[in-house]
Amino acid sequence: MNRAPLKRSRILHMALMGTSDPSGEAEASKEKPFLLRALQIALVVSLYWATSISMVFLNKYLLDSPSLQLDTPIFVTFYQCLVTTVLCKSLSTLATLCPGTMDFPSLRLDLRVARSVLPLSVVFIGMITFNNLCLKYVGVAFYNVGRSLTTVFNVLLSYLLLKQTTSFYALLTCGVIIGGFWLGVDQEGAEGTLSWTGTLFGVLASLCVSLNAIYTKKVLPAVDGSIWRLTFYNNVNACVLFLPLLLLLGELQALRNFSQLGSAHFWGMMTLGGLFGFAIGYVTGLQIKFTSPLTHNVSGTAKACAQTVLAVLYYEETKSFLWWTSNMMVLGGSSAYTWVRGWEMKKIQEEPSPKEEEKSSMGV
């Protein structure tokens, strides 16, 4: 019997729970030749790496470039949300006008749904804003360490909000991540490049990423399990909520005085940043679909390592042995946590349920 295509809601559930779909993967491997599947995976992983790394470097340019001298991080984030909203609506309209050309849900703004998504949107705004503020105040090389506590907050919030306990080995990997974070902060301070403001924003960004995963699971039913509908409502709400912030923080006045406001290059780079922000959600889901949540996490860790090395080379920085050690601790701890959780989930799936044990003991 043919298996139905994997839905994006299923992909997100797999990503959040740290489980894979082995039956689907096995079936897909039978359907496609090994070389073709290997090529597809290589292309998807490369696309994810290129999109994610490009987005970080481009955002760093927009947020903290000496050539731009634009001190409006909230406006940059607002504009990226606006681009994502317009793209979602445009693709939805195109799918409606030309059925069969693409698989995209119809999007219609429903205020009741927007209100249901609002709690998640507040967390979403915190996540993208603190991410950008962290990137503004810290270097790209330190960016991954600065916001490396997401895994630690996942464990903490799972216990506080969901009453889920964590194994000793998983807690041990969290300890390695925390140690790497503190060593990284210490080494940044020793080199005179530490920004406590940027580090604080990185910690807050990590907290919001964890909260975003928890609230996403609660809110998905309101948008019929559609990731694209959730993306649309999140960004619409964000655009509305950012407007008073732009006024209160005086960023509209700063934008009015910006010398390159009429520059096509500036708006082109801003729009490109929005396109990357839209694309990262799609390529993340694509990578999970063609590999597995576990492979996606490993790929993300390897990408972070490559991004750090590229940043050090691009900005011609010199880092100490202990600084590199802190990065390896963070990346190694994150990889180990992913492996431990994957191993634990696999073990749970393989263990027979009490009912099955009862049946086998009765000889049924």
pLDDT in tens, the chain (364 residues): 444 444 444 544 444 444 444 444 444 444 568 888 888 888 999 999 999 999 999 999 999 988 888 899 999 999 999 999 999 999 999 888 888 777 888 888 899 999 999 999 999 999 999 999 999 999 999 999 999 999 899 899 888 887 888 889 999 999 999 999 999 999 999 999 999 999 999 999 999 988 988 888 888 899 988 888 999 999 999 999 999 999 999 999 999 989 899 899 999 999 999 999 899 888 887 888 888 776 777 788 889 999 999 999 999 998 999 999 999 999 999 889 988 888 888 887 776 655 545 454 444 3
Instruction: Report the pLDDT value the prediction gives residue 298, as an integer from 0 to 100.
Output: 79
User: Length of the chain, please?
Assistant: 364
Tell me if residue 284 falls in helix, strand or coil. Answer: helix
DSSP code of 98?
A: S
Closest CA to 181 of 300, 329, 311: 329
Q: What is the pTM of this model?
A: 0.82
Q: Per the structure block, which two tokens stand in for 165?
A: 């306990």
3-state helix, strand, coil in the chain (%, to 5): 80, 0, 20
Question: How does DSSP classify residue 291?
Answer: S
Res 343: pLDDT: 86
CA 18 to chain centroid: 14
Neighbours of 199 (CB within 10 A): 22
Burial class (CB in 10 A: 0-12, 13-18, 19+), 99: exposed
Task: Quote the tokens at residue 120.
Answer: 């998640």
AA letter at 363: G
DSSP 109: -
- Residue 259's SS3 state is coil
The single residue listed with the structure tokens 């990226």 is: 80
Angle between helices 73-97 and 227-248 (to 10 degrees): 150
245, 128 Cβ separation under 8 angstroms: no
Contact between 312 and 187 (Cβ < 8 Å): no
